[in-house]
Amino acid sequence: KNQVEQSPQSLIILEGKNCTLQCNYTVSPFSNLRWYKQDTGRGPVSLTIMTFSENTKSNGRYTATLDADTKQSSLHITASQLSDSASYICVVSARRGGADGLTFGKGTHLIIQP
């Protein structure tokens, strides 16, 4: 069964510090992996989309990595800001497409403290 596991479930760090969020998946055959940021009460916003051949992608202070061999991805946030407080959701697409080809993680709830 396709699964996406995110860790930690929640994380509290001080403003200015770095952090790394993890996403492990068992989706097959793999198509792409997305990281979304979701602020409270808002829709998700795409941070990165990575395909099989990409192993690093950056978007400002966000850097995602993908290891397709070990089926792991990470999202690294550098020099965190208060506005980074949000849920971060990992979503993996299988190549067959369709609604059942999309597997969602439950998210990591990140709180940045001043």
Partner 1 sequence: DARVTQTPRHKVTEMGQEVTMRCQPILGHNTVFWYRQTMMQGLELLAYFRNRAPLDDSGMPKDRFSAEMPDATLATLKIQPSEPRDSAVYFCASGLVQGGSPMGGHEQFFGPGTRLTVL
CA–CA separation, 14 vs 36, rounded Å? 21
Query: Residue 1 or residue 42: which is nearer to partner 1 going by CB?
Result: 42
The stretch near partner 1 (CB under 8 A) out of 9-17, 20-28, 60-68, 103-111 is 103-111
Query: Residue 41 or residue 60: which is nearer to partner 1 going by CB?
Result: 41
Rounded (10°) CA dihedral 98, 59, 17, 11? -10
Residues making up the chain, counted from first to last: 114
CA–CA separation, 92 vs 55, rounded Å? 15
23, 107, 108, 110: which one contacts partner 1 (CB under 8 A)? Answer: 107
Sign of CA pseudo-dihedral 63, 89, 17, 70: negative
Binding of partner 1 by 73 (CB under 8 A): no
**Nearest Cα to Cα of residue 35 among 95, 87, 81, 85:** 87
Binding-site string for partner 1 from residue 20 to residue 49, where x marks contact by CB under 8 A and - marks none? -----------xx--------xxxxxx--x
The binding site for partner 1 (CB under 8 A) comprises: 31-32, 41-46, 49, 51, 89, 91, 93-95, 97-102, 104-107
